[in-house]
Amino acid sequence: MKIVVLNETPSGETRVALVPESIRKLVALKAEVVIESGAGAHAFVSDADYQEAGASVSSDRQQLLESAEVLVAINRPRALDLAALKKGAVVIGFLRPLDEPAALEPVVSRGLNAFAMELMPRITRAQSMDALSSMATVAGYKAVLVAASHLPRMFPMLMTAAGTVSPSRVLVLGAGVAGLQAIATARRLGAVVDAYDVRAAAGEQVRSLAATFLEVDLGGIQTEDKSGYARELTEEALQRGRDLIAKHARSADVIITTAQVPGRPAPLLLTEEAVAGMKPGSLVIDLAASTGGNCALSKPGETIVHNQVTIMAPLNLAASTPVHASQLYSRNIAAFLALLIQDGQLKIDLNDTVVGPACVAGPGGYVNARVAAALEQSATP
Ligand code: NAD
C-alpha cells in the first residue's frame, strides 16, 4: 500500500503530515511511504531524514498523485490535485467537511475515499487520533506567547527594589482544548486569568488551573450536544454572555477568544462596544478567525489597531510551531492509518466506531450524512 505525502500548498503552511517517527511505524505495518522532495523542509525534516526512516523521496508530484493509494495531507488538497488521484484512492486531512462542503463535491463524484480529521469522534478509542485537539493545544499555547511578547506590560507580578509590578489580566473566552491550554500557559507566566464558557463542565477544568470561571445565568437552556460540543445558543443567551464579557473586558490586558460551534459560524462574543471599553495598549487574539471570529472587529488573517487596542486574528497559529505541530499531527495520522491497514493492504471498515464517523465519502458511494446535509444546504440558494 502506497502512502504519499506532498508539499502543502497553502501559503504560510509550514507543517508536514508525516514525520520520520511515524514513518517507521507505517513501514512496520508493511506500508510503502513516498514523500515529495522538500515536504518536511519548513518543519526541519530533510529528505535524508525521511529516507533514513524507510520512506522514499520523489520530485515528481504528478506521478505521486497518480500512483497514491493513500494521500495524507494537513490541508484539503487543491481541486487539481484531487483530480489527479485514481478512483478509490484515500485522502486524509483537515478537509473542512462541514464549513466548506461544496469543495468536497469532486471527492464524492470521483469515487475517492475521504476521511476528515475534523470528524474524528471524541471517544476514548480515538483520542490518539484527535488532530483538532493537537492543533488547538499548539494554538492555545502560542496565542499566549504572542500576546505576552506584544503586550506593553509584563505578565507576572514582580516585587522589585523599585516596587511592585502588578500582574497582567488575561480573559479567555471558550475553555475547550485551546482555551484551557491558553489558561495554563498564561498562569505559568504569572498572569491572573478569568475564563468564560457555556459548558458547565468547563468551569471545573478552569478552576483546576487556578483561574476564575465567570458564570452567567443562561436561563437553564441546554448548552451542550450529546458529543460534548457546545450548541449554537439563542440570541438571548448569547447576549447575556456578551454583557458579562463586556464587563470583564474593561479590566483585561489580553483577551484570547477560542469559542467555536462545529459546522457553524463562531459566536460573536466581543462586541465593538466591549472593545471600546478596553484599556489602551490591551490586546485581543481571536483564535476563532477561521470560522468568522468571536470579536466583531476581527479581520481574519490580519492584525488591526482600533482605538489603541490591537486585534489579531491569526488563521494558522499552529503553523508557527511547525516541529511540534507536525509531530503531533503525524502521530494522530499514524494512529488512524493503523485502523485502515491490514497485512499491508488497505481495508476500510465503515462499521468501525472511528473509521465510520470520520469518513466523508467511502466505498459503494457512501457519503457521510452530516456532509450530505451540509452539501445540500450549500447548494440551496
Ligand atoms: P471547540 O473548538 O468546538 O470550541 C471551543 C470552546 O468554545 C468550547 O469549550 C465551547 O464550549 C466554547 N463555546 C462555544 N460557544 C460558546 C459561546 N457562545 N460562549 C462561550 N464559549 C463557547 O471545542 P473543543 O475545544 O475542540 O472541545 C470541546 C469539548 O470536547 C470539550 O469538552 C473538550 O474537553 C471535549 N473534548 C473531548 C475529547 C475526547 O476525546 N473525549 C477530546 C477533545 C475535546
What pTM, to 2 d.p., does this model score? 0.95
pLDDT in tens, 183-200: 999 999 999 999 999 998
Q: Is the pLDDT reported for residue 264 higher than 90? A: no
Contact 213, 202 (CB under 8 A): yes
pLDDT in tens, 49-70: 999 999 999 999 999 999 999 9
Which residue's CA lies nearest to atom 16 of ligand 1?
Answer: 259
Which residue's CA lies nearest to atom 36 of ligand 1?
Answer: 122
Is the CB–ligand 1 distance for residue 198 below 6 Å? yes
Rounded CA-CA distance 355/347 in Å is 10
Which residue's CA lies nearest to atom 24 of ligand 1?
Answer: 176
Angle between helices 322-340 and 20-28 (to 10 degrees): 10
Q: Is the pLDDT reported for residue 85 higher than 90? A: yes
Residues involved in catalysis:
122, 127, 130, 133, 229
Q: Is the pLDDT reported for residue 31 higher than 70? A: yes
Sign of the alpha-carbon dihedral angle for 145, 151, 152, 153: negative
| C-alpha cell at position 272 | 465593538
Mean pLDDT of 262-271: 92
Residue type, 103: A
pLDDT in tens, 222-259: 888 877 788 888 888 899 999 999 999 999 999 999 99
Mean pLDDT of 283-305: 97
- CA proximity to 53, closest of 35, 72, 73: 35
Is the CB–ligand 1 distance for residue 174 below 6 Å? yes
Position with higher pLDDT, 210 vs 98: 210
Is the CB–ligand 1 distance for residue 237 below 6 Å? no
Mean pLDDT of 262-286: 96
Question: What confidence score (pLDDT) does residue 376 get?
Answer: 83
Distance 175 CA to ligand 1 centre (A): 7
Is the CB–ligand 1 distance for residue 214 below 6 Å? no
Question: What confidence score (pLDDT) does residue 381 get?
Answer: 63
Position with higher pLDDT, 224 vs 303: 303
Relative to the CA of 127, which ligand 1 atom is closest?
A: 40
- CA proximity to 118, closest of 327, 374, 365, 357: 357
Strand, coil or helix: 172 = strand
Burial of 80 (0-12, 13-18, 19+ CB in 10 A): exposed
Rounded to the nearest 10°, the torsion over CA 351, 85, 11, 301 is -40
Which residue's CA lies nearest to atom 7 of ligand 1?
Answer: 259
> Which residues, at least 6 apart from 126, have a Cβ–Cβ distance to it below 8 Å?
120, 353, 354, 358
Strands 158-160 and 163-165: antiparallel
Question: What confidence score (pLDDT) does residue 217 get?
Answer: 81
